[in-house]
């Protein structure tokens, strides 16, 4: 049975973007980000994280460090009863790897997730903090929402058309 999906950028949407965040001790959630993921879970959305991680291509850290951070994020979300269905990342950077189909603004990560999971396009959306995130959403045929920072739960409620007290 297909379900709508929420595609979330990581740095700047779920966690404070401090530049090349790749260790659990660097993780600081954006305001009410875990609660926003929980709300999406409760509303029946598949929740995906789609993140460019050029620090891998630059040699600042390896894929294992990012995977460990994502496992840590999943564990913290789990304490609240929330979860991310899948994390997708692009480890490339054009200066080091040439061109790829997965680095936003290209839609590769989104399209791969839509092919691998029972995603219903109707009702699906992306939340990002950069124009390249919105370009990837558009290229995948999805609406994109530019998150200005602040309270992610309130922002998600606005997208879902729910008031601040809804739960």
Residue-level pLDDT, tens digit, the chain, 167 residues? 999 999 999 999 999 999 999 999 999 999 999 999 999 999 999 999 999 999 999 999 999 999 999 999 999 999 999 999 999 999 998 777 778 999 999 999 999 999 999 999 999 999 999 999 999 999 999 999 999 999 999 999 999 999 765 55
Token pair for residue 148?
């200005």
Residue 29 placed within a domain = yes
pLDDT of residue 117: 98
pLDDT of residue 99: 82
User: 78: Cβ–Cβ under 8 A, 6 or more apart, which residues?
Assistant: none
* Radius of gyration for the chain, computed over Cα atoms and rounded to the nearest angstrom: 15
Catalytic residue among 11, 25, 85, 97: 11
Q: Is 11 one of the catalytic residues?
A: yes
Q: Is 25 one of the catalytic residues?
A: no
Residue 166 placed within a domain = no
Q: How many CA atoms lie within 13 A of 27 on its CB side?
A: 21
- The pTM (predicted TM-score) of the whole model is 0.95
Task: Write out the residue range of the structural domain in which residue 78 sits.
Answer: 5-160
Residue 68 placed within a domain = yes
Residue 113 placed within a domain = yes
Residue 40 placed within a domain = yes
Backbone angles phi, psi at 46, to 5 degrees: -75, 140
Q: How many domains does the chain have?
A: 1
User: 130: Cβ–Cβ under 8 A, 6 or more apart, which residues?
Assistant: 9, 12, 104
How open is the CA angle 82-45-138, to the nearest 5 degrees? 120
Residue 167 placed within a domain = no
Run of H or E including 34? helix 33-42
Catalytic residue among 9, 25, 85, 97: 9
Residue 129 placed within a domain = yes
SS3 156: helix
Give the CATH number for residue 10: 3.40.50.1000
SS3 163: coil
Residue 95 placed within a domain = yes
Token pair for residue 39?
């709300």
């Amino acid at each position: 049975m297909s379900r709508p999906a929420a595609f979330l950028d990581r740095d700047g949407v779920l966690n404070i973007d401090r530049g090349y965040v790749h260790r659990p001790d660097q993780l600081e959630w954006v305001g009410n980000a875990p609660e926003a993921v929980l709300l999406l879970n409760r509303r029946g959305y598949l929740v995906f994280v789609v993140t460019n991680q050029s620090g891998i291509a630059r040699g600042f850290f390896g894929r294992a460090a990012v995977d460990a951070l994502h496992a840590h994020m999943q564990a913290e979300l789990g304490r609240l009863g929330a979860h991310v269905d899948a994390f997708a990342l692009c480890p490339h950077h054009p200066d080091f790897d040439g061109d790829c189909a997965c680095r936003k603004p290209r839609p590769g990560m989104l399209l791969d997730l839509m092919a691998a999971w029972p995603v219903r396009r109707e009702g699906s959306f992306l939340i990002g903090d950069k124009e390249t995130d919105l370009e990837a959403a558009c290229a995948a045929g999805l609406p994109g929402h530019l998150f200005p920072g602040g309270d992610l739960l309130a922002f998600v409620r606005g997208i879902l058309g729910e008031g601040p007290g809804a739960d």
